[in-house]
Structure 1
Amino acid sequence: MSERLSPTRVAAIWAAALVLLAVAAVSVIILVNHTVFGPGQKVRDFQAHLAAGEGAQALGLLNATVPEGNGLLLDGDGLRAASADVKDFTVGKPEPIPGSGKVVQVTASYTVHGTAQQTSYSLQSAGRRWLFFDRWAFVPSILPAVEVSANTTNAVDINAMPAPLENGRTTVPVFAPSVINAGFETPNFAADSRGMVVTDPNAQGTEVKLRTEPTKALVEEVNGQIKKYLDDCASQQVLMPASCPMSYSTSARVNADSIHWSILEYPQAEIVPYNGEWALRPLTVKTRLKVTEQDLRTGASAERSIDEDFGFTAELQASTTKARVVPVASE
């Protein structure tokens, strides 16, 4: 026959069960408060909006002011492109900021092209919801802005999207983290700057200065014009071809029909920036002159072959699509 529990014992069992339930409830509340409503989750939600290209939601969550500039990386395809290389995003434990009241710092770790990076966010307590759960909000801030500059062009591509320039510059507000790939390519000039990472949510004055380089097509065009110029010089059957670097002086009598210039080695153009424009470094051509000379005293004739180097300079007149080489002097 089973022993009947006394009312006191039954009450004690119920009290213990209620205590266990209360402890379990408190544990669940603490866990949910930390994982679902904690500041770290705000950071995760923010990064999820960036990856999805949801700029309005990210901006509203971040509580940030947008500086003036081209907003092509703040929403849609531009935002997704700026966030695509951010991988393995994890959020660390919130750390109180001493002397700041109810403000904590949350540091996110991630990789960009395999390189470890970090971004720290400041969040502040914003009261409670449903009595038990904390509310957190990002501390108001101003979005970072990146200034992209370039010469020889009036537009660049930023993350594969066209961006016009004004006086060679444009300002692009971005979220943090963002990866900036800037560049341009025209028939004659190109520049490329890839993989710059904006990690600081409060960064201002970040610059991307595109280093313009001549394209292979421009170098080939310039070398072609130089070759034609020198070939025209070599076709002249005179000892001093007009407007050309080569010349030959002799006291002997020379029959013009015996004069034959040839180019042994053409110069290779080196295009360099100079005073905000483009210039050619001094050029040197290797030549051979074959000529028959008659000694004025003896009347004897002799065939001669003279190899000589001649230096000259040339002006380069180049735009993004056209180029003209103008030889200007001999040395």
Structure 2
Amino acid sequence: MSQALVRIAAGWLLGLMLAVAAAVVAVNVVNNTMASPHQPVREYLDALQSGEGGKALGLLRATVPSSDASMLDGTALQTAASRITNVKLGKPEPREGKRVAVPMEYTIDGSQLSTEFLLEKTGTEWLFFNTWAFVPAPLPKVDVSVVNAVEATMNGVPVNMPDGRNTFAVFYPGEYEASVNGAYFAAAPSRATVTGRDVPVAPLTLLTQATQKLKDDVGAKVREFLDSCAAEATEAQRLQPDCPFYHVSRNNITAGSIKWDITEYPEINIEPFDGRWVIAPLDGKAKVTGQQQDSFSGAYFPLNEEVAFSFTTRLDVTSDAVNLTPQLTY
């Protein structure tokens, strides 16, 4: 009877030891997976990919600096995170106190990059399972400037650019692309890759230029002005009309014979200057024909002269209209 009890006790003891061992293994597995420092990082990355800025901000326990918050949610945030591929989380590395650094390697646009997340142990749950949280810190910022514009597009979202400048709070890691895509003015995309909370980010500068549509529309306005001026000069039979072009002759011109034509229209060049857009001097050629009588001999002979001209014009552009005001000197 005593031997049977010993065998039963031994069986119970073995079972208890196995249960304890299994529990220890289970606790270790959970602490290395669901309760590891990796878990908050995974949840944070998922929030970025989903464009859930509020959730990401809460997980990161970050403060938002004084700045524009347009990049912190929705499409802009999803776009920033969508370029992150080939993510690999490394082994947590001990830091001072109860903190660890979780390294992450990844790729953005073919470039191999890395980010280090700093987390701290905040306690345990159910006595055994560790809890981890990001160490609070301010979000990084990206400075953007644009030439002669008060609006731009950043990560597919329209943003305001007061006085041509703005500063945007951003999550990390991520890529932020700014551009100008207007009908009359455009700037090639400029990108900033943000890899960490303390890693300096180069400012983005958008070099706005006149689009071909603006040059075409201005060119059409200039042609319209010159053609109209030539027609009015012909109708008024004037060699010196209120136009950029004129001709001086000492001979007598036969009434009704004067005709003006534009033979070379100006090339259109539009550049930024002192906070506005200016058109370079407009150079062209006009031709005047007619019949003239020599003042001394009285002989008649053709008038056929091509004259060069140059003038400037003030340019006023709205979102959907172009206005020119020629500046003529007589």
Establish whether TM, by shorter chain, passes 0.5. yes
Structure 1 residue 248 corresponds to structure 2 residue 247: yes
Structure 2 CA distance for partners of 1:228 and 1:56, relative to 1, 3 Å: closer
Q: What's the TM-score, normalizing by structure 2?
A: 0.80
Task: Look up the match of 1:105.
Answer: 101
SS of 1:120 mapped into structure 2: strand
Deviation at 1:210, TM superposition (A): 3.2
Displacement after TM superposition at 1:278 (Å): 0.7
Cα distance, 1:65 vs structure 2: 0.8
> With structure 1 as the length reference, what TM-score do the two structures score?
0.80
SS at 2:308 equivalent: strand
In the alignment, which of 31, 48, 51 is matched to residue 49 of structure 2?
Answer: 51
Contact 1:105 1:123 in 2 (8 A): yes
2-structure distance, mates of 1:185, 1:136: 44
Distance in 1 separating the partners of 2:75 and 2:228: 54
Percentage of identical aligned residues: 34
Map of 1:3 onto structure 2: none
Write the letter of the residue equivalent to 2:308.
Answer: D
Task: Say which SS state the counterpart of residue 36 (structure 1) adopts.
Answer: coil
1:282 paired residue number: 281
1:196 to 192, 199, 216: 192
Q: Distance in 2 between matches of 1:283 and 1:131?
A: 82
Name the residue aligned to 1:232.
228
Residue 60 of structure 2 aligns with which residue?
62
Structure 1: gaps of 5 or more residues: 1-6
Given the superposition, is the C-alpha separation of residues 323 and 76 from structure 1 closer, same or farther in structure 2, using an over 3 Å criterion? Answer: closer
Q: 1:84: how far off?
A: 2.1
Q: Give the residue type in structure 2 aligned to 1:83.
A: A
* Distance in 1 between residues matched to 2:255 and 2:91, nearest whole Å: 91
Q: After superposing the two structures, state which structure 1 stretch, 25-34 or 119-128, moved more.
A: 25-34
Take 1:226 and 1:24, find their aligned partners in 2: how far apart are those partners?
A: 87
**Cα drift, residue 50 of structure 1:** 1.1
CA gap of 1:289–1:107, structure 2 versus 1, over 3 A, is farther
Counterpart amino acid of 2:88? T
Look up the match of 1:211.
Answer: 207
Instruction: Provide the residue aligned with 2:218 in structure 1.
Output: 222
How much does 1:179 deviate?
2.7
Count the aligned residue pairs.
323
- Distance in structure 2 (CA, Å) of the matches to 1:256 and 1:138: 91
What is the CA–CA distance in structure 2 between the aligned matches of 1:93 and 1:291, rounded to whole Å?
91
* Contact 1:153–1:320 under 8 Å retained in 2: no
Q: State the partner residue of 1:75.
A: 73
Alignment match, 1:173: 169
Change in Cα spacing, 1:293 to 1:274, as seen in structure 2 (3 Å) is same
Q: CA deviation at 1:57?
A: 2.5
SS at match of 1:242: coil
Q: Would the aligned equivalents of 2:240 and 2:247 in 1 still touch at CA under 8 Å?
A: no
Counterpart of 1:322 in structure 2 is 321
1:256-267 equivalences under 5 Å are: 256-267=255-266
- Whether 1:159 and 2:123 are equivalent positions in the alignment is no
CA distance in 2 between counterparts of 1:304 and 1:110 reads: 77
Distance 1:176 1:284 in 2: 52
Unaligned stretches of 5+ in structure 2? 1-5
Structure 2 SS opposite 1:258: coil
Cα separation, 2, equivalents of 1:151 and 1:17: 76
Cα-to-partner distance string for 1:247-266 (whole Å, 9 max, x where unaligned): 22233222243322222221
The 1:96–1:306 alpha-carbon spacing in structure 2 relative to 1, beyond 3 Å, is farther
Residues 278-287 or 290-299, more deviating: 290-299
Contact 1:50 1:58 in 2 (8 A): yes
2:90 to 89, 92, 97: 92
